Amino acid sequence: MKKETSHTYNFIWGFGIELILLLVGAALSVAYGSKQIPLSQIVAYITGNEVDPFLAAVIAARIPRTVFGLLAGASLGISGALMQSITSNPIADPSILGVNTGASLFVVIGIAYLGISSGMGLIGLAFVGAMLTAVFVYGIASVGYGGANSLKLALAGAAVSTALGALVNTIMLPDSHVMKEFRFWQVGSIGGGTWEDVRLLLPFFAVGLVFSLCCASSLNALSLGDEMAVALGVRVGLIRLVAAFAGVLLCASVTALAGPIGFVGLMMPHLIRQLFTCDLRILLPMAALGGSALLTLSDVAGRVLGRPGELEVGIITAILGAPVFVWIVWKSKVKNI
């Protein structure tokens, strides 16, 4: 009884801390940039009170970027948690598995050769590219003795990502228009986030969230092994397919609109598992909150460190995520090559 009470307090504290970080990140995202805005002015703007017209214009421009960052971070957090659960792999992540790069390749092909420029069209292309890449990487890693273990997935993902990244550059370099338009997008940035981007991303986030939560209990059973899951009445193949669909949909929609932002889906689910719980019914919402807070705070850090310009958020998350990736691999004590 005491243990259950302790777990409950941990969950409450965890949600509370993530919510505070999310609110702080959102406030700083609106306040900080090339022009710093006092918090009192932000509150006045939100409550409908009189604000300096110039500051009001700056706030109005930053709010959609902030909202888009919150949605994108939540999507990546959930996507990473789903991929780690499906593959039973602590280092599974859209960037590690090459899924982001596959989505990027199809987006660039659509723009350079197919003339597709609409957000919905790019999201569709990104989804196809991400899904094909995920299947391809998992297939390569599954070949040979031991199946798709952690190290083989990471190596297969790195190899495929490198090859696809080279193809992206091959397509972009000869076309100055495409290269100019996507040189920052390729790194991963939410700086151009608008209300239109929010409206495009929101339905895909909602679908991915609903599908993932519906699969949570069955994915918990899968963590006990396929045989045990079948004995408990879980349709293993269907659950893996639905969860993979949700994870790739969330990742691809963000990649299409913001570029390939890495490591958010790696860091947050793993951190939550270590500190709070492995129960996906709780982990998924916590990964969403944590991903939102992480991406928004990383975006703020990029603006502060890059003044008078800014560093793209994909650079900041890579700086934070690389040592976490090394630590997870070391902790997992993977010895097979």
Our count of domains for the chain comes to 1
pLDDT of amino acid 208: 95
The set of residues, in sequence order, having a beta carbon less than 8 Å from that of 258 and lying 6+ positions away, is 68, 72, 185, 188, 189, 190, 193, 197
Q: Can you read off the two tokens belonging to residue 117?
A: 């420029």
CA distances from residue 40 to 36, 57, 65 in whole angstroms, order as listed: 12, 15, 20
pLDDT of amino acid 148: 64
The domain in which residue 70 lies consists of 2-87+188-332
pLDDT along the chain (337 residues), means of 10: 58 87 94 86 87 88 94 96 85 82 90 82 92 88 70 82 88 72 73 91 96 93 84 86 92 91 89 86 93 96 86 90 80 53
Do residues 76 and 264 make contact, with C-beta atoms less than 8 angstroms apart? Answer: yes
Residue 232 in any domain: the answer is yes
Rounded to whole angstroms, the Cα distance separating 76 from 295 reads 9
- Counting Cα atoms < 13 Å in the Cβ hemisphere of 280 gives 26
DSSP per-residue codes, 231-298: HTT--HHHHHHHHHHHHHHHHHHHHHHH----SHHHHHHHHHHHHT---HHHHHHHHHHHHHHHHHHH
pLDDT of amino acid 259: 86
CA distances from residue 29 to 4, 67, 135, 268, 303 in whole angstroms, order as listed: 37, 10, 36, 20, 9
- Counting Cα atoms < 13 Å in the Cβ hemisphere of 2 gives 0
Residue 222 in any domain: the answer is yes
Residue 114 in any domain: the answer is no
Q: Can you read off the two tokens belonging to residue 52?
A: 């300096």
pLDDT of amino acid 334: 47
pLDDT of amino acid 112: 83
Residue 171 in any domain: the answer is no
DSSP per-residue codes, 316-332: HHHHHHHHHHHHHHHHH
Q: Can you read off the two tokens belonging to residue 22?
A: 């999310």
pTM: 0.89
pLDDT of amino acid 183: 67
Residue 105 in any domain: the answer is no
Dihedral angle over CA of 284, 129, 185, 305, nearest 10: 40
Residue 145 in any domain: the answer is no
Residue type, 31: A
Residue 40 in any domain: the answer is yes
Residue 56 in any domain: the answer is yes
CATH of the domain at 67: 1.10.3470.10
233-242: Cβ within 8 A, 24+ apart:
239/215, 240/86, 242/211, 242/214, 242/215
